[in-house]
Amino acid sequence: MLDKRAPAREAWPMQDTAMPAPVPLFPAAQDNLRLACERLNIHPDVFEELKAPRETLAATLLIRMDDGSRRALPAWRCRYNDRRGPTKGGIRFHPGVCLDEIQTLAFWMTFKCAVADLPFGGGKGGVCVDTKTLSRTELERVSRAYVEAFAAFIGPDRDILAPDLYTNGIVMAWMADEYASISGRPMPSAFTGKPIAFGGTAGRTDATARGGYYALRHLESAFGLNADNASVIVQGFGNVGYHIAKLLHADGYRIVGVSDSGGAIYDPAGLDPLSVMEHKHLNGGVLGAAGHGQTREMSNPELLEQECDVLVPAALERQITEANCERIAARVVLELANGPVTANAERVLLAAGKNVVPDILANSGGVTVSHLEWVQNRSGFYWDGSRVRDHLKSVIETQTQAIWLVQNQMAVSMREAAYIHGLKRIAESVEARGTEAYFANGGSL
């Protein structure tokens, strides 16, 4: 019998054929791997192992909506490579989520964890959903359904989740709670980025931004930047975008532009991130927030091209592409988003003498502090915020310096240097199992 609640045929969501599919991310990620393998003159088995994910699971989450209807949401979790330890990486809820994106993000996590020298491999997950269309109870059902679907994949020694785009500490708490129900005992270390009252760590909320901040400050003199007269544009005003704006503003950087999904504001005289965030809380977006008298509203693409010294993409992938790279005014691009600059665009930026601090270094602060949360959950001994920040600063400065050296020694881009630095560690962990001699040149750079 026909379900009386079924919507009329026209009301069923149809595929939007007018929108061209985005260029896949994974082939460019593989190019980075191939280049790093060539530069290190590494055994071909390493490329063979890393060119594809270990395992990816797809599921359809069937969610009961508040009005009684059901929605089917595509979801994925990818464990890309676990040679250095359990796979680790965030989960995102976004309407653009697809298999290509999740696999690529999991690949990037593999290298990010190696760059930060964490005992983790890389993973990532996502649900194709627009959280802005969900009530809080629907969001909770999506979070719990995700864990139910992927429970066999997850675990403190297998695959450890964390927040990413449009997920946060509350989502992690629902997930950890669901996982405890399924496992029959609490296992908080299978999730990081949890609220502090539920086994979270001090310092995780702003860790991604803080890591990027430490990297930028470490490179200031190399980039010829001076906090007292340098200007910054931040794309995305969520967890990462807001905190980087706040940290740099506190040090004297002039925040001249910020944006969110609703649009952008630009004020050459400067914006106060705290008052912009207050405005966003009250009005739902940054549009309409006032700076120092010269504030203009514009689109996100326009904002990227405005005058500034440092551009911080902190939203989505593929924001700086062949279409706009020649008009980017910034001298430094600090990639706090994952994959915001395409490979072709980066070539153009570098040829124009600009600097790009690659995502797998610039945004590695989040997973570095997630590692500390995992350690604290397992030991039952909790650190204070200053100890967490000191550790993060030391990790970021050490890895930034190491990558800077590789870049100069090998005359490669900072991204290539980061991949070489990470690949060396991954290959060492394979070789340490005694199977093969992976370094044709004995492991020296």
Ligand X SMILES: NC(=O)C1=CN([C@@H]2O[C@H](COP(=O)(O)OP(=O)(O)OC[C@H]3O[C@@H](n4cnc5c(N)ncnc54)[C@H](OP(=O)(O)O)[C@@H]3O)[C@@H](O)[C@H]2O)C=CC1
Ligand Y SMILES: O=C(O)CCC(=O)C(=O)O
Where does this chain bind ligand Y (CB under 6 A)?
88-90, 109, 112, 162, 164, 192-193, 338, 363, 366-367, 370
Does 314 engage in binding with ligand X (CB under 6 A)? yes
Among 16-24, 66-74, 169-177, 236-244, which window interacts with ligand X (CB under 6 A)?
236-244
Among 271-279, 333-341, 393-401, 414-422, which window interacts with ligand X (CB under 6 A)?
333-341
**Token pair recorded at residue 47:** 């490329």
Cα 291 from Cα 270, distance rounded (Å): 6
Catalytic residue among 51, 88, 112, 124: 124
Q: Under a CB-based contact definition with an 8 Å cutoff, are residues 51 and 30 in contact?
A: yes
Single residue of 118, 145, 316, 360 touching ligand X by CB under 6 A: 316
Q: Which does 236 bind (CB under 5 to 8 A by kind): ligand Y, ligand X, none?
A: ligand X
Give residues 195-214 in contact with ligand X (rule: CB under 6 A).
208
CB of 142 to ligand X, least distance (A): 15
Instruction: Give the torsion sign (CA, 313, 322, 17, 91).
Output: negative
By CB under 6 A, how many residues form the interface with ligand X? Answer: 26
CB of 48 to ligand Y, least distance (A): 25
Of 78 and 109, which CB lies nearer to ligand Y in the complex structure? Answer: 109
Q: Which does 238 bind (CB under 5 to 8 A by kind): ligand X, ligand Y, none?
A: ligand X
Q: Under a CB-based contact definition with an 8 Å cutoff, are residues 165 and 135 in contact?
A: no
**Token pair recorded at residue 116:** 């930060």
Among 161-169, 172-180, 244-252, 423-431, which window interacts with ligand X (CB under 6 A)?
161-169
Instruction: Give the torsion sign (CA, 248, 402, 362, 224).
Output: positive
CB of 109 to ligand Y, least distance (A): 6
Does 238 engage in binding with ligand X (CB under 6 A)? yes
124 included as an active-site residue: yes
Of 92 and 246, which CB lies nearer to ligand Y in the complex structure? Answer: 92
Of 4 and 281, which CB lies nearer to ligand X in the complex structure? Answer: 281
Does 285 engage in binding with ligand X (CB under 6 A)? yes
Residue 131 phi, psi (nearest 5): -65, -20
Name the helix (H) or strand (E) containing 81. Answer: strand 70-81
Q: Tell me whether strands 310-313 and 332-334 are parallel, antiparallel or unpaired.
A: parallel
Cα 204 from Cα 370, distance rounded (Å): 7
Of 109 and 225, which CB lies nearer to ligand Y in the complex structure? Answer: 109
Q: Which does 192 bind (CB under 5 to 8 A by kind): ligand X, ligand Y, none?
A: ligand Y
Q: Under a CB-based contact definition with an 8 Å cutoff, are residues 213 and 248 in contact?
A: yes
CB of 122 to ligand X, least distance (A): 12
Of 249 and 371, which CB lies nearer to ligand Y in the complex structure? Answer: 371
- Biggest CA-to-CA distance, the chain: 72
By beta-carbon distance, which residue lies closest to ligand X?
238
What type of residue is 96? G
Instruction: Give the torsion sign (CA, 236, 241, 242, 248).
Output: negative
**Residues pairing with 155 in the sheet:** 159
Residue whose C-alpha is closest to residue 329's, from 307, 348, 355, 358:
307
Q: Which does 156 bind (CB under 5 to 8 A by kind): ligand Y, ligand X, none?
A: none
Helix, strand and coil percent figures for the chain, each rounded to 5: 45, 15, 40
Binding residues (CB under 6 A) for ligand X: these are: 163-166, 208, 235-241, 259-262, 285, 300, 314-316, 336-338, 363, 366
Q: Catalytic site residues?
A: 124
